[in-house]
Amino acid sequence: MSDNSDIRNMFPILKSRVNDNDLVYFDNAATTQKSKEVIKELERFYLQENSNIHRGVHHLSQVATDSFELTRKSVKTFINSKFTHEIIFTKGTTDSINLVASSLGRLLKKDDEIIISEMEHHSNIVPWQLCCEISGAKLKIVPINDSGELDMIIFNELLNSKTKIVAITHISNSLGTINPIKEIIKLSHENNAKVLIDGAQSAAHVSIDVQELDVDFYCFSAHKLYGPTGVGVLYGKEEILNQMPPYQGGGEMIKEVSLHKTTYASLPHKFEAGTPNIAGVVAFKKSIDLLENFGLKTIKEHEDALLSYATKELKKIEGLIIVGTSENKSGIISFNINGIHHYDLGVILDKMGIAIRTGHHCTQPVMRKFNIPGTARISFAYYNTFDEIDRCIKAINKAKDMLL
């Protein structure tokens, strides 16, 4: 476990030098690095298969379509959906959430209610606010406690027969909290509400079985799973997707178009208007293969060990306060040091080759709750090492000496 040089070798960028130091990449919650296989596959697609999909009768179009659809099958297996056509390709988590909010939103009426939480990424807040503005539905918010956990008592109180949609993150990108989504889904279904889970921070870190969860929608981004940017997944239950109106109109999503009336294609194409990021989707398969080869159980074990070691070491630094202290956390640590602005810390760590994230992490309500302008955030991936944590701790101490 401690020597993972084989794994690190799979990610060429990890050998970078930054400001005369070996790179330590601790900004994996923002995006993960890409494996050699993913990068090679992007190139291979453009060299050997490039053409548009689902349209041509010619050889290349067939080959490209097959490759594209192969990824859909991989995703199906990866999250264990019942049908392959329940996997919709989007641009990313944000796009997936907007699709649901906009399409399902059109079926909402005034006085319907949508529940989100105080720890959501702006991507899982703003689309619902827009949806409420258009439909007249009301947005209800589950607050978080001082450890950064959802207040499940209030969640229960908010649920009622008017609740139509519950949209909650699986793992908080600023606090690291893993939410009890199974319970959330069960309680919501008892009230006939549909549940969308924002899986942006979970799909690469915990294993997901959408059938076992019985979740209605699950969203994630390929770029946070060692895959390419510009590719996302929306999983939706067949029955619900079939009831939903299309999101965007265009090519690919139609069955027949006349100038006055159009009939729509069946799933998944109904929700995939226009030419998608074909090469990205094709290469995404390589990152799913990688995750399956590593095994999510092994990944989680390693990242949990990194989390507990880093937490222990960070706590030794005087004046350091961890924001998000749930018992049930993923490999994300947000913190502040008394008297030091997170931006200053980030700038100095960068000089020492250490990439962390600073700011509000697109979760301003969380920052408001803790009454802070932002945090410094470390987030792990499978390729990170204990050694890197040691270097980071040393760098934080050095930065502290300089800044205080």
Partner 1 sequence: MNMSINEIENEIVEEFEMFDNWIDKYEYLIDLGKSLPKISDSEKTKENIITGCQSQVWLNAKEKDRHIIFYADSDAIMTKGIIAILIRVLSFQKPKDIINAKLEFIEKIGLKEQLSPTRANGLVSMIKKMKIYALGFEQKL
Residues recognised as catalytic: 362
403 binds, among ligand PLP, partner 1, none (CB under 5 to 8 A by kind): partner 1
Q: Exactly one of 33, 93, 177, 179 binds ligand PLP (CB under 6 A); which one?
A: 93
Q: Exactly one of 112, 118, 149, 198 binds ligand PLP (CB under 6 A); which one?
A: 198
Q: Which of the residues 326 through 385 are near ligand PLP (CB under 6 A)? A: none
92 binds, among partner 1, ligand PLP, none (CB under 5 to 8 A by kind): ligand PLP
Q: Which of the residues 17 through 36 are near ligand PLP (CB under 6 A)? A: 29
Q: How far is the CB of 366 from partner 1 (least distance, A)?
A: 15
Considering the complex, state which of residue 92 and residue 346 has its C-beta at the smaller distance from partner 1. 346
Q: Exactly one of 12, 13, 16, 19 binds partner 1 (CB under 8 A); which one?
A: 19
Q: Which of the residues 351 through 370 are near partner 1 (CB under 8 A)? A: 351, 358-360
Count of residues interacting with partner 1 (CB under 8 A) = 17
Residue 234 has which token pair?
Answer: 């929306």
Closest CA to 280 of 77, 68, 86: 68
Residue 148 has which token pair?
Answer: 């950064």
Q: Exactly one of 155, 374, 375, 379 binds partner 1 (CB under 8 A); which one?
A: 374
Residue 1 has which token pair?
Answer: 């476990």
Considering the complex, state which of residue 249 and residue 373 has its C-beta at the smaller distance from partner 1. 373
Residue 386 has which token pair?
Answer: 């204990």
Residue 213 has which token pair?
Answer: 């969860």
Question: How do 194-198 and 217-221 pair as beta strands?
Answer: parallel
360 binds, among ligand PLP, partner 1, none (CB under 5 to 8 A by kind): partner 1
Helix axis angle, 386-403 to 296-315, nearest 10°: 30
Q: How far is the CB of 199 from ligand PLP (least distance, A)?
A: 8
Q: How far is the CB of 119 from ligand PLP (least distance, A)?
A: 9
- Taking only Cα atoms into account, the Rg of the chain, rounded to an integer number of angstroms, comes to 22
Separation between Cα atoms, residue 174 and residue 11, nearest integer Å: 25
Residue with tokens 């300089």: 402
Q: Are 220 and 91 in contact (CB under 8 A)?
A: no
Separation between Cα atoms, residue 45 and residue 47, nearest integer Å: 5
Q: Exactly one of 34, 72, 121, 369 binds ligand PLP (CB under 6 A); which one?
A: 121
Task: Work out whether 300 is an interface residue with partner 1 (CB under 8 A).
Answer: no
Segment lying near partner 1 (by CB under 8 A), choices 86-94, 174-182, 320-328, 347-355:
347-355
The number of beta carbons lying within 10 Å of the beta carbon of residue 153 is 9
Task: Work out whether 56 is an interface residue with partner 1 (CB under 8 A).
Answer: no
User: Using omega within 30 degrees of 0 as the cis cutoff, is the peptide bond preceding 268 cis?
Assistant: yes
Residue 13 has which token pair?
Answer: 């960028």
Separation between Cα atoms, residue 404 and residue 392, nearest integer Å: 18
Task: Work out whether 173 is an interface residue with ligand PLP (CB under 6 A).
Answer: yes
Closest CA to 201 of 331, 353, 338, 326: 331
Considering the complex, state which of residue 114 and residue 340 has its C-beta at the smaller distance from partner 1. 340
Task: Work out whether 221 is an interface residue with ligand PLP (CB under 6 A).
Answer: yes
Segment lying near ligand PLP (by CB under 6 A), choices 87-95, 104-112, 265-273, 368-376:
87-95
Q: Exactly one of 32, 35, 74, 94 binds ligand PLP (CB under 6 A); which one?
A: 94
Q: For the chain, give me the number of helices (H) and strands (E)?
A: 14, 17
Residue 101 has which token pair?
Answer: 């909010």
Q: Exactly one of 346, 349, 380, 382 binds partner 1 (CB under 8 A); which one?
A: 346
Q: Which of the residues 132 through 171 are near ligand PLP (CB under 6 A)? A: 169
Closest CA to 244 of 132, 182, 165: 165
347 binds, among partner 1, ligand PLP, none (CB under 5 to 8 A by kind): partner 1
Separation between Cα atoms, residue 324 and residue 176, nearest integer Å: 7
Count of residues interacting with ligand PLP (CB under 6 A) = 13
Separation between Cα atoms, residue 399 and residue 234, nearest integer Å: 42
Interaction site with partner 1 (CB under 8 A): 19, 340-344, 346-348, 351, 358-360, 373-374, 402-403
